[in-house]
Amino acid sequence: MSGKLVVVGTPIGNLSDFSPRGVQALSDADFIAAEDTRVTRKLLNRFGVRKPLICYFEHNKYARGEEICARMEAGETCALVSDAGMPAISDPGETLVAQCAERNIPVFVVPGPSAVVSALAVSGLPTGRFTFEGFLSVSKKGRREHLAGLKDEHRTMVFYEAPHKLAGTLADLLSALGDRRVSIVRELTKIHEEVIRTTLSEAAERYADGSARGEFVLVVEGAPHAAAEPAAEQDAVALGREYLAQGFSASEAAKRAASETGRKKHEIYKELTQDAVGKERGCREKGN
């Protein structure tokens, strides 16, 4: 009988955020795949869980993933955790889940805290649509290409960044995207949690000295949408005339045409009423 993989979200700072279901999932697993066994051991000790740990991280993920899959195919249940937050999100667990999918090993999830959505929620920036960009490349070329591709991105953007790279990242964001609003979310759920709502230019100046401490999530405003080009005045008036022909009053026809074309209602109304005056004058002249 095939086993399964259970992806378990872990606290991003405050251990009290770990859910009862998360504790149960770790207790029920045959073994736990952890990014750093020392970090995970602290979590297990806090909740009295005693299970075998296997180290699974970026540099051994392919070979160790094969080993883990073989054990699950033999019937064991593996709980996958990261040091903090949801495994497989900007995390080597992404590869293990893909390996399970290829081998038809069942994968289940126990949701937990996520720095991405937590930072977005307190950012004060639009949250309806967003894009998670993770960590920027340490390669200058890769970083340049990544940011160039985001210049016209309208959605709110979320980045992770380490303190020692924050100054350079803020300078690069300012250079590539221009001055935008940014929320700098620091040490989420920890004692020194902080949200700084500012602009990229002010943020770059603030952290230019390399004094940043803690773990950071950057929430950056998307590019503004270009204003729609208003329709030519004659097109708007022509549309208004069509509405007049359908039996609408001049006022209603002008209102509808303005709504659809971006032209000002009073300008369209003026043209439509002048048409009416002109027709009336023409009728009188014929009558004479």
In this predicted model, what pLDDT tens digit does every residue of 43-84 receive, in sequence order?
Answer: 999 999 999 999 999 999 999 999 999 999 999 999 999 999
* Closest by Cα among 8, 13, 6 to 86: 8
Q: How far apart are CA 266 and CA 282, in angstroms?
A: 24
> What pLDDT was estimated at residue 244?
84
> What pLDDT was estimated at residue 276?
54
What percent of the chain is modeled with pLDDT above 90? 75
**What mean pLDDT is predicted for residues 39-43?**
97
Q: For residue 20, is pLDDT > 60?
A: yes
In this prediction, residue 229 has a pLDDT band, given cuts at 50, 70 and 90, of low
What are the sequence ranges of the domains in the chain?
A: 4-113, 116-220, 233-278
> What pLDDT was estimated at residue 254?
87
* Integer-rounded Cα radius of gyration of the chain: 30
Q: Name the CATH architecture for the domain at 4-113.
A: 3-Layer(aba) Sandwich (3.40)
Q: Kindly report the pTM of this predicted structure.
A: 0.76
The phi, psi pair for 22, rounded to 5°, reads -65, -45
Q: Name the CATH architecture for the domain at 116-220.
A: 2-Layer Sandwich (3.30)
Provide the 10 A C-beta neighbour count for residue 84.
Answer: 23
> What pLDDT was estimated at residue 61?
95
